[in-house]
Amino acid sequence: MELITQIPLIGGTLAVVLPFLIVLLIVVFVHECGHYIVGRWCGIKAEVFSIGFGKPLWKWTDRRGTRWQVAALPLGGYVRFAGDMDPASAGRADDSALTPAEHRVAFHNANLLRRASTVAAGPFANFLLSVLIFAGISMSLGQGSNEPVIGAIGPDTAQDVGFVAGDRVLTIGDQEVADFDDIIDILARTDDEPQPVTVMRDGDMRQITMRYHRPPRITQVSPGTPAARAGLLGGDVFVSIDGEPVGSYRKLQLITLAKPHGAEIAVVVDRDGELLEFRLIPELVERTHPVTGEELLLPTMGVRGSLLAGIEPARESTPITTALAVGVDQTWQIISGTLIYISDMLFQGADTSQLGGPIRIAEISGDAAQQGFSSVIWLIAVLSTSIGLINLFPIPILDGGHMLFYAIELLRGRPVGELWMKVGTMIGLSFVVLLMIFATYNDLVRR
């Protein structure tokens, strides 16, 4: 990605656009594959499977008569089934010229269950992709054990930390330790202060002195956050904020919390021995206050530090069943969080400025690409869930709009009339376009 950014004139734009297109097209391809595969299972013929819109740049027709193509405008895709009036399946085309065999495989001649299954398969494929990606991440990283055992000592850890890998921690200060969560809770309140610790090491109980110091090093920059937009990267070490020295990660948190909302701050970081200055405006995000433990809206740059300054728990392999459960849970967290935000926005007056459009997604994709391959994979999972959920909204032109028409058909005992379907599709299209304009406006205001 750094090579791309060095291309004269267009390098910076390409570094944002290319990751965005790659992420978007992967998610769209999986979505359309869901429609295509289930449509085939239901005996419905797909005439065109297109990645992108407009003039085909490449096309190939398989032995089933489906034309696969890559089109000039790579901002989506579609599957057009036999008998469709358009790629959105918004109505029935004139099928008077179709043969009896072609009638049998036309989309609108399939029964209600087969049509509904084909439409629902697109969002379901997106959710399945997210679950598998999150499960794969869980399996590759392993599962942190909650046993109070030190698994690893990272390079950022102070030399006199006192712990060695394999220590089973029994007490810190005058507090007993039952699990690794206790170690996290206790050490988070003892930044840089020596503590007496009892450990079991090599079968012997020992008394040691532990000094915990969490350096202000960035391990991860969340895509789309002020830190990412400013250009901060994983590995940067904070030196100062508005001229005030930052000696530890806790100091970094406290200085940031003290800044007034909406105020620009100047941060200096050490990047591979070079001091660099960046300017950014922290955003208010609901998170846990590092001192009081309350859930509040707090100024946030969007960076993360290493857990316990590199003191890591012992890790154990993640069984596939557990990994899949993690994948389902993380996918559901995205879905439920989105629905709660929409509900708050509609009924509680929540801030609508957080709605983002294509520009914001492109920026987040570029940020993820800067952070590395794992961040891009994570973004694919998040975006796949979001697109799957959005497509289930009961808005004509989206998959959820088709499901709404099918629900009405089930209740009425006959399909919705062509006129009503066309009117609903135009209303739905207008709504989606207005929403995109509003989201894009937010993107431009935010820049």
Q: What's the residue count for the chain?
A: 447
User: Structural domains in the chain?
Assistant: 2-139+383-446 (no CATH), 220-289 (2.30.42.10)
Per-residue confidence at 4, pLDDT binned at 50, 70, 90?
very low
Separation CA 85–CA 83 (nearest Å): 6
Cβ neighbours of residue 441 closer than 8 Å, sequence gap 6 or more = none
Tens of pLDDT, residues 168-201? 999 988 889 888 888 877 877 776 678 888 989 9
Average the pLDDT over each of 81-90, 298-307, 424-433 and give the range with the smallest value: 81-90
Q: Say if residue 152's pLDDT is above 70.
A: yes
The pTM score is: 0.69
**pLDDT over 80 (residue 340):** no
Highest mean pLDDT among 58-67, 172-181, 347-356: 58-67
Residue 32 annotated in active site: yes
Q: Which residue has the tokens 């070490």?
A: 237
Mean pLDDT across 221-244: 85
Looking at residue 362, its pLDDT comes to 65
Catalytic-labelled residue, pool 2, 32, 277, 294: 32
Cα 252 to Cα 264: distance, rounded to the nearest angstrom:
16
| Cα–Cα distance measured from residue 64 to residue 105, given in angstroms and rounded to the nearest whole number | 12
Average pLDDT on 48-74 reads: 91
- What confidence tens digit (pLDDT) does each residue in 121-132 have? 999 999 999 999
Q: Which helix (H) or strand (E) holds 166?
A: none
Q: Which long-range contacts (CB under 8 A, 24 or more apart) does 109-115 make?
A: 109/83, 110/42, 110/43, 110/44, 112/406, 112/409, 112/410, 114/42, 114/43, 114/44, 115/42, 115/402, 115/406
Q: What is the pLDDT of residue 1?
A: 47
For 89-98, 139-148, 185-194, 413-422, which range has the lowest pLDDT when averaged over its residues?
A: 89-98
**264-285 per-position pLDDT tens digit:** 999 999 988 889 999 999 888 7
Helical ranges in 192-317 per DSSP H: 226-230, 249-257
What is the arithmetic mean of pLDDT over 394-406? 88
pLDDT of residue 338: 80
Does the structure show a pLDDT above 90 at 69? Answer: yes
Across 89-93, 284-288, 440-444, which has the greatest mean pLDDT? 284-288
Place 2 in a pLDDT band, splitting at 50, 70 and 90.
Answer: very low
The pair of structure tokens assigned to 213 is: 């110091």
Residue 253, pLDDT above cutoff 80: yes
Per the CB < 8 A criterion, the answer to whether 384 and 129 are in contact is yes
Mean pLDDT of the chain: 81
Q: Which of 105-114, 262-271, 282-291, 352-361 has the lowest mean pLDDT?
A: 352-361
pLDDT higher than 90, residue 163: no
Statement: residue 208 has pLDDT above 60: yes
